[in-house]
């Protein structure tokens, strides 16, 4: 399979051109020229080796050399996480979870949430950049910021195993790493800096979210998200 | 076990005082006062709940209320990693690996290394802060920046299993997650942005470093370090 070291995003490969920001990166930053080969991905599993025809900074055009398809992940990892107070920390989670293989992200608002707004456009850019970097042609789905109560009520599919990771050591929890994954879809709730409160934990458990621990050490929110994603990736 | 939410570092608990930077943080930043309780740890497994006597910004003194000991980790995780070009990235690795449970870190210089110097004092501070945050009273050991060739030659203990994680897909590798951990000590080499070169990989393999892969996706250096630490933590 021939590929280039540079990968660009384009919503539909058959458009035969890159959107303005990707065109600018290719031509304005990387100085790519007519005749150079690049990879183009649609983030939905389709990608192609293409040849640059017109190296325009606003609307790079290309012709397709060879098309490829990447198989969908066999299991889905959906993490619903309270954004951290520090943007750097949650953005690092987004990047690392994407590299590891997350498939869906829902930012959630919980009682102890320190951050109540997110910059969706910036988050999307991070997910796209990390997907390209890790050769993942299925970009993760990013959902809207959702209240925890709504999330719990709306997420009750029979084909999904739901988990809640919390730090209440005196409440019964199993180790996520010891779980037997039987579902194609797995979804886990990760709390904010101050953890979920007891009412939230109980609501989740009543609604079939299985309480789990992510290990013996105390983890920051973004680390818990990375570790949960990695465990689900390893055991599924 | 009674504890406080604030933990401070002190080389020897019996000194009954905090070093200047920790004193400043306790009194100048957190405004702690005489009679307040704090945790003090020596980073070697000993910690105590103490009561502040003299809340000096330069030399806080305390009396010990109760002493504790934290058992040593049963297995050691030593990661030898090429520092990334971006300080943020390698510092994020330091923090996350510490939260997960790394016990020893060696920064290494390899042929493709983009960063050839490190700020040891800053790295130490990150390791201490992350250890305190995650309730780990055994701080990771930080070794000096070492040339890869020297590291490989000097590390040949019979009680350690050595690994090298590299990205040469056409060279035989096993999955680290499928390894059977039999040694108390485990050590893994993580390469720079441009990976190890073939000569380095061959030198490591000749010197009993087992070649491994960390999963199916392409990971950045700092992500590879975090993932390797987490896998060793899970399987050992």
pLDDT at B3 over 80: no
Where does a domain end: B34, B50, B69? B69
Q: What is the pLDDT of residue B2?
A: 66
Q: What is the CATH number of the domain that holds A104?
A: 3.40.1280.10
- Range(s) of the domain holding residue B225: 76-235
* B58 and B169, same domain (yes or no): no
Residues of A in contact with B88 (CB under 8 A): 88
- How many domains does chain B contain in total? 2
For A82, A95, A164, A192, A196, the CA distances from A148, given in Å and listed in that order, are: 9, 23, 11, 11, 10
- For the residues B123-136, what does the mean pLDDT come to? 95
**Sorting pLDDT into bands at 50, 70 and 90, what band is B19?**
very high
Taking an 8 Å cut-off on Cβ atoms, the answer to whether A231 and B234 are in contact is yes
Per-residue pLDDT tens over the stretch B87-96: 999 999 999 9
Chain CA centroid to CA B226, Å: 11
Q: What is the CATH number of the domain that holds B19?
A: 2.40.240.20
Whole-number mean pLDDT of chain A? 95
**DSSP class per residue in A49-111:** EEEEEE--SS--EEEEEEEEE-PPPSSEEEEEEPPPSSHHHHHHHHHHHHHHT--EEEEEE-T
pLDDT at A75 over 80: yes
B36 near A CB under 8 A: no
**Sorting pLDDT into bands at 50, 70 and 90, what band is A229?**
very high
Q: What is the pLDDT of residue A171?
A: 86
- Which of B190, B196, B197 lies closest to B222 in space, CA to CA? B190
B220 near A CB under 8 A: yes
Residues of B in contact with A101 (CB under 8 A): 215-217
- For the residues B125-147, what does the mean pLDDT come to? 96
* B30 and B112, same domain (yes or no): no
* A80 and A39, same domain (yes or no): no
* A161 and A111, same domain (yes or no): yes
Q: What is the pLDDT of residue B1?
A: 61
Per-residue pLDDT tens over the stretch B46-84: 999 999 999 999 999 999 999 999 999 989 999 999 999
Q: What is the pLDDT of residue B229?
A: 98
Question: Closest-CA residue in chain A for B89?
Answer: A92
B100 near A CB under 8 A: yes
Taking an 8 Å cut-off on Cβ atoms, the answer to whether B226 and A226 are in contact is yes
Number of residue pairs across A and B with CB atoms under 8 Å? 63
A92 near B CB under 8 A: yes
Torsion angles phi and psi, residue A149, rounded to 5: -60, -45
Work out the percent of chain B whose per-residue pLDDT is above 90: 89
Q: What is the pLDDT of residue A2?
A: 66
Q: What is the pLDDT of residue B4?
A: 81
Spatial separation of the C-alpha atoms in residues B33 and B56, rounded to whole Å: 9
ipTM of predicted assembly, 2 dp? 0.92
pLDDT at A187 over 80: yes
Beta pairing partners, A106: A80
Q: What is the pLDDT of residue B168?
A: 86
Q: What is the pLDDT of residue A1?
A: 61
Where does a domain end: A69, A98, A117? A69
* B35 and B107, same domain (yes or no): no
Whole-number mean pLDDT of chain B? 95
* B205 and B222, same domain (yes or no): yes
Residues of A in contact with B167 (CB under 8 A): none
Q: Would B1 be classed as within a structural domain? A: no
Per-residue pLDDT tens over the stretch A21-63: 999 999 999 999 999 999 999 999 999 999 999 999 999 999 9
Q: Shortest CB distance from B218 goes to which of A95, A135, A227?
A: A135
**Sorting pLDDT into bands at 50, 70 and 90, what band is A84?**
very high
B87 near A CB under 8 A: no
**Sorting pLDDT into bands at 50, 70 and 90, what band is B171?**
confident
A178 near B CB under 8 A: no
């Amino acid at each position: 399979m021939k590929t280039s070291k540079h990968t660009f995003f384009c919503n539909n490969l058959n458009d035969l051109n890159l959107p303005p920001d990707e065109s600018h990166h290719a031509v304005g930053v990387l100085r790519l020229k007519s005749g150079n080969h690049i990879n183009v991905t649609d983030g939905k599993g389709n990608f192609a080796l293409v040849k640059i025809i017109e190296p325009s900074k606003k609307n790079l055009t290309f012709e397709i050399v060879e098309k490829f398809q990447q198989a969908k992940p066999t299991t889905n990892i959906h993490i619903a996480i309270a954004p951290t107070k520090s943007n750097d920390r949650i953005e690092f989670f987004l990047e690392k979870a994407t590299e590891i293989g997350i498939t869906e992200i829902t930012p959630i608002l919980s009682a102890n949430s320190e951050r109540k707004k997110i910059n969706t456009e910036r988050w999307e850019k991070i997910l796209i950049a990390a997907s390209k970097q890790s050769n993942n042609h299925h970009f993760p789905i990013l959902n809207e910021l959702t209240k925890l109560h709504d999330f719990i009520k709306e997420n009750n599919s029979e084909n999904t195993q739901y988990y809640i990771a919390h730090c209440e050591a005196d409440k019964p929890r199993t180790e996520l790493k010891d779980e037997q994954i039987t579902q194609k879809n797995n979804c886990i709730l990760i709390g904010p800096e101050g953890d979920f409160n007891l009412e939230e934990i109980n609501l989740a458990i009543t609604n079939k979210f299985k309480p789990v621990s992510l290990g013996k050490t105390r983890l920051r929110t973004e680390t818990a998200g990375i570790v949960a994603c990695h465990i689900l990736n390893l055991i599924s």
